[in-house]
Structure formats: structure tokens, C-alpha cells
Chains A and B, each alone.
Chain A
């Protein structure tokens, strides 16, 4: 494997200054952070899982209405956003990969790029929401859609993208925090799993979008 062995770490950092007192050693503290985030992501899977279940139930009950309604979403903007998110995940992975390099400049550069792409995603989403509102592609009163299951599809469109956008915002804040600490507290960032843990969250939010993309933007395109 190409990973760096752990043994170089305790020499290169002052282990005790960043170890919390109730952990017996630093690797265990790092693993706790990593495991803690994964456990949280398991709960996030079930959180979004509730939404996906609801989507599946209605898509099975009303296949034609869902196909009809889904054609109104904007494939171009959805695809652009998918591209932005996948690329931001690459940049986060690169930032984590160069966390242990001598200078942290490259690491910050990658992380800054990921944050920029994340903000770009939200900007595109805002443009898209604006257009949706103008066209009346909404499930609530004032909708241009016929009453019935078509509105249910857009109920899920708004709920799913909305909850995802909230997660994006949290993710951007998290990456921004790490971006600052890479400069302000480099020792802490190198010794602990913080960057890795923030990255895990980001990748998860990306992974959710990987599923939202075909479910919301690509249904009913083949006619």
C-alpha cells in the first residue's frame, strides 16, 4: 500500500500537546474521530433514507405522473451541479492526501478550491430555484402543476434538494473551519483526524447527490 506508515507521526509532532487526556494514545484518538463520523454518517443514511423511501413509494404508485412531472426539472443545471460536486470531492480527497506534506500550502489550496466549488453548487441551485419559482414548479398553492401526484413529485424535489442544500451549507462551514485551522493550528490539523473527518462528511453529501441526480433530473427523458 502506498500510505505513509504511522510510525513517522509521533516523531514529527508533539503528540501530547494535542492528545485529549481521556485517550490512552493519539492513534486511538484519531480513530475515535474517524469512527465517530462514520457512525454519524450511518445515521445520515437513515435520515435521507426516509426521504428516499417516500420517493420510491410514490414513484411506484404513480409512475406516469412522476415521469411527466420530472421532465420539468432542469437537466443542464442538475448536470453542472453534479460535475461541480464530484470535482469538489476530488479536491477534498487531494487536500487530505497532502495533509502530511512538509508545507500545508497545497493542502489549503485544494481545500479552498473545494469550498469554492461548493459555493458554486449553491449558487447554481439558487438560480435553479429562482427559475422553478417563476415557472410555478412548486407543490404548494400557486403551482402551475395539475393537482395530484405531479405535485407529490415536486414535493420531493423541494424537500430532497432543500435538505441536501442544508447539508451542503454545513459542509461548506466545516471545510471553511478546517481551512482556517490549517493555518491557525497546523500542529493540531496534522496530528488529529479533523481534516479527514470533515472530508468524510463532504464525500457523504456528494454521495447523496449522486443518487438525487438521476432520481430528480433524469426521469422520463427517454421518449
Chain B
């Protein structure tokens, strides 16, 4: 039987391979880890740099970058089928809806909004 669900990779494995030796075969995984640790260091360092409203913005931007690295490489969204990517995106889209409309209320109730 052919069609949906067959004849395509299941999108497993981001790097390495069956052959080869040493750490080179895991270069993707290790490279992503290095990037994650660097980003974590940057998050920590920037937190001590007075930037006002820039502090939470930078922290969230860096967290988002880390999330993308984990999702795209470690969770294999890079090579996943569209339906899997759709599932991943749907959760985030509706989270944005929850945030946006809740804050549409809360932001307009802040003391600053009354003045």
C-alpha cells in the first residue's frame, strides 16, 4: 500500500549516521548543545546589565532562541512531516491567543492606563 504514511522518512535523527567514528558523527547534536550553553551564558550575563525594559525583552528573546534550537534540532522539527509541525505550531498559536486577549484586559486595567 502506498500513499500517506509510507515512503517517507519519519524524520528521526538529526546527524551522525551509521558509519564514521568519534565525535564527528554527533557534530549536530554537540554543536546545538554548545549554542545552547552559550545562549544560557548570554542570558545570565545580560541579566546583570542594566537595560531597563531591555532586560526582560533580551531574556525572552534568548529563551525563544533556545526553544527554537531544542525544537528544531533535538525534537527533529527540521525533518518532521508537516502534520507534526502543525501540531507543534498549533499549541503555540493558541497560547498566543490566551496571552493576547487576557492582556487586552489586564493592560487596560493597569494604574497607568487610567491616567
Q: Which chain A residues have a beta carbon within 8 Å of chain B's beta carbons?
A: 1-6, 24-25, 27-28, 30-31, 34-35, 38-39, 41-46, 49-50, 52-53, 56-57, 60-61, 75, 79, 82-83, 86-87, 89-90, 92-94, 96-101, 193, 196, 199-200, 203-204, 206-207, 210-211, 213-215, 218-219, 221-223
Contact = CB atoms under 8 A, between A and B. Distances in A.
B49 to A, nearest CB: 6
- Which secondary structure dominates where chain B touches chain A? helix
B13 A207 contact: no
Interface pairs A-B: 7 shortest CB-CB: A42-B91, A45-B91, A214-B59, A28-B5, A218-B47, A90-B33, A38-B87
Task: Tell me whether chain A's interface is mostly helix, strand or loop, or mixed.
Answer: helix
Interface in B25-83: 26, 28-30, 32-33, 36-37, 40, 43-44, 47-51, 55-56, 59-60, 62-63, 66-67, 70-71, 73-76, 79-81, 83
A34 B8 CA distance: 14
B30 A90 contact: yes
> Contact residue range for chain B?
35 or more
Interface of B: 1, 4-18, 26, 28-30, 32-33, 36-37, 40, 43-44, 47-51, 55-56, 59-60, 62-63, 66-67, 70-71, 73-76, 79-81, 83-84, 87-88, 90-92, 94-95, 98-99, 102-103, 106-107, 110
Nearest to B55: A222
Given A46-B91, A97-B13, A61 B40 contact: no
A60 B12 contact: no
A200 B60 CA distance: 22
